[in-house]
Amino acid sequence: MNPRNLTIGVVAKAGEHGVVREFFELFKTPWEFCRQDKRYTVVLHADRGSSCPPADLVILYGSESNGFDEARRRLPGAARAGAMLSWNRERLPLYGRSVPFPPADAPDVVFEDTREPLATITRCEGGTVVRAGYDLFDEIRFLLTTGQPAAHASIPTLERHIGLLRGWILGAGIPLVEIPPVPAGHRFTVCLTHDLDHPAVRFHKLDHTTLGFLYRALLGSLVKVCRGRMPIAAFRRNVGAVLRLPLVHLGLAEDFWATFRRYLDIERGLGSTFFAVPTKGDPGRTLDGPAPGARASVYGVADITDQVKALTAAGREVGVHGIDAWIDSRRGVEERAAVSRVAGAAVAGVRMHWLFFDESAPGHLDEAGFAYDSSFGYNDAVGFRAGTLQAFKPLTARRLLELPLHVMDTALFYPPRLGLTQKAARAMVWPLVDEAERHGGALTINWHDRSIAPERLWDGFYLDLLGELKRRQPWFPTAMQAVSWFRRRRTARFDSVCQDNGSVHVRASADGLDEAPGLTLRVHTVGPGRATHFTDLPLRDTLEVRVSA
């Protein structure tokens, strides 16, 4: 029996090749664009205008009828724009066109509302054909550029697309090799980050921030106590902070918004990243003109020099909380230089103030010299805007990686946003942790500087969250360390992957990065009754292994 080539052959439209390449950096499995001189065990076909080479398993994606549909006289129904699928007792939203197929026996992927099949599986003498009625790479493009609406934030959609494809391959009895987004020795990664919007109450005089603080600390807190949403002890803390405010301005009391030392204490032994505003008094721009005046910061990074140096001395990372870097690469260079001067070293990362971002932003940030951005998230929700927990390369960037933001305190607790109680917030955030543990990747959390101080007092929830995360034993790197790990994973190469004489033979390699956890090579095999099993092996530099199938 000749060895089976386990590299996936891909047929896609020329305009989708960039999306295909990025998809297979996230689903890190052997693949290549189909070559005429090779036979593949699996072919993923997503171009209606191209012929499909034979294979043991052919997966046909597309929302228009094709020759296969016509030959078996099972034409798809009317196309839908946006739909919710049900698969493996999970939900999978689609954002482009999709089509149903005539009823089949026990379909595994159906439209949630009509129960019509979205995919059919046909087994014949030459192999198996999976016909999926949607355009996979259109969906991936949407997730990595526009992102999901907040209504579907809790669904790791891109990871489920990967899971669906993986399931079809294994379901056909074909082994699969991949490098999951899992650092060796851990189930997933957690990036603790902090936007430094208000690092000291003394920077504020009688401005709108101070007036808002006074209102929420007194009247707002009293209302919450009456409604049972705040304990009396928290109300007393807020009133005490109001009474100390004049003493803080006179230099006679400690600044209760200066939380640097407390974060260092509660995150002792963990990596974390702090994003500092480069210059004060500049609200920046939007695509349509000047940004609202309230976006201007009352401090610049030079005003917190001592605190920044203390953070770097403690091994924490300092990045840029950008103003105009997302829209102007020249301004990005200036903002990066301002923070680098104070930090004493070139900074690598950026998160835009107010999460300003659009599809062209990664290109500007890339040109400004940033290694990563962490702005792709929600202001008014928590979850997976890109549908993934993995750092990815935006389609307009050459080198920059995007580390998606998943959980932000203000989105959870601000009344104009979700306005949750701590109990309700737990019910929303803990399932996101479950998804991180299930899929791997990096769960990125943003807890603002003043959020563990009066009047917000969101420190109790943050401590509970840290406790839950520590219990699950993820890797806690700085954001740059996490991005470097993902970048190393992108260097991994499958030099040879085949099935021969009842075993799977793999030769793989990756560039070394000794200071970070290693990579994991995962070999999925299929046993009697199509039962699946996987074997994890450490991959540091080069690995050649044979795993019994």
**Residue-level pLDDT at 513:** 59
Residue environment code for 182-216, b if the CB has 16+ CB neighbours within 10 A, otherwise e: bbbebebbbbbbbbbbbbbbbbbeeeebbeebbeb
- 346/319 Cα distance (integer angstroms): 9
- 357/375 Cα distance (integer angstroms): 7
Residue 514's pLDDT band, with cuts at 50, 70 and 90, is low
Residue 291's pLDDT band, with cuts at 50, 70 and 90, is very high
Candidate ranges 19-28, 98-107, 112-121, 512-521; pick with highest mean pLDDT? 19-28
For residues 118 and 91, is the Cβ–Cβ distance under 8 A? no
CA angle 99, 22, 94 (to 5 degrees): 25
Is the pLDDT at 528 greater than 90? The verdict is no
Give first-to-last CA distance, the chain, whole Å: 15
**Residue-level pLDDT at 107:** 75
Residue 124's pLDDT band, with cuts at 50, 70 and 90, is confident
To the nearest 10°, report the CA torsion of 60, 61, 64, 68: 0
- 138/37 Cα distance (integer angstroms): 28
Tens digits of residue pLDDT in 216-245: 999 999 999 999 999 999 999 999 999 999
Stretch 287-292: mean pLDDT, rounded? 95
CA angle 448, 449, 450 (to 5 degrees): 95
Element (H, E) at 213: helix 208-215
Average pLDDT of the residues of the chain: 95
- 136/62 Cα distance (integer angstroms): 8
User: In Å, how far are 18, 84, 238, 239, 522 from 233, measured between CA atoms?
Assistant: 55, 45, 9, 10, 51
Q: Which of 154, 140, 83 is nearest to 378 (CA)?
A: 154
Name the residue type at position 193. Answer: T
Place of tokens 């030769």: 507
Lowest mean pLDDT among 92-101, 249-258, 506-515: 506-515
Stretch 118-143: mean pLDDT, rounded? 93
For residues 211 and 235, is the Cβ–Cβ distance under 8 A? no
Is the pLDDT at 316 greater than 70? The verdict is yes
Tens digits of residue pLDDT in 146-191: 999 999 999 999 999 999 999 999 999 999 999 999 999 999 999 9
pTM over 0.85, yes/no: yes
Residue 106's pLDDT band, with cuts at 50, 70 and 90, is low
**Residue-level pLDDT at 331:** 98
Stretch 347-372: mean pLDDT, rounded? 98
Q: Which of 382, 384, 402 is nearest to 392 (CA)?
A: 402
**Residue-level pLDDT at 125:** 75
Percent of the chain scoring above 70 in pLDDT: 99
Tens digits of residue pLDDT in 462-503: 999 999 999 999 999 999 999 999 999 999 999 999 999 889
Tens digits of residue pLDDT in 398-456: 999 999 999 999 999 998 899 999 999 999 999 999 999 999 999 999 999 999 999 99
Residue 134's pLDDT band, with cuts at 50, 70 and 90, is very high
For residues 374 and 444, is the Cβ–Cβ distance under 8 A? yes
**Residue-level pLDDT at 70:** 86
One-character DSSP codes across 264-291 = HHHTTTS-EEEEE-SSSS---EETTEEP
**Residue-level pLDDT at 2:** 76
Lowest mean pLDDT among 155-159, 197-201, 502-506: 502-506
Please tell us whether the domain made up of 189-200+257-485 is placed in CATH 3.40.630.30: no
Lowest mean pLDDT among 106-110, 274-278, 290-294, 410-414: 106-110
Is the pLDDT at 69 greater than 90? The verdict is no
For the 4-174 domain, the top CATH level (class) is alpha beta
**Residue-level pLDDT at 540:** 83
Structure tokens at 125: 């003498």
For residues 352 and 372, is the Cβ–Cβ distance under 8 A? no
For residues 513 and 478, is the Cβ–Cβ distance under 8 A? no
Structure tokens at 456: 């917000």
One-character DSSP codes across 140-189 = HHHHHHT---GGGTT--HHHHHHHHHHHHHHHTT--EEE--S--TTSS-E
Percent of the chain scoring above 90 in pLDDT: 87
One-character DSSP codes across 382-427 = -S-TTS-SS-B--TT-SS-EE----EEHHHHH-TTTT---HHHHHH
Domain spans of the chain, in order of start = 4-174, 189-200+257-485, 205-255, 492-548
To the nearest 10°, report the CA torsion of 176, 181, 187, 189: 180
**Residue-level pLDDT at 444:** 98
Residue 141's pLDDT band, with cuts at 50, 70 and 90, is very high
**Residue-level pLDDT at 126:** 79
**Residue-level pLDDT at 49:** 82
Question: Is the omega angle on the peptide bond into residue 16 within 30 degrees of 0, that is, cis?
Answer: no
Strand ranges of the sheet holding 532-539, from the earlier edge strand across to the other edge: 176-178, 519-526, 532-539
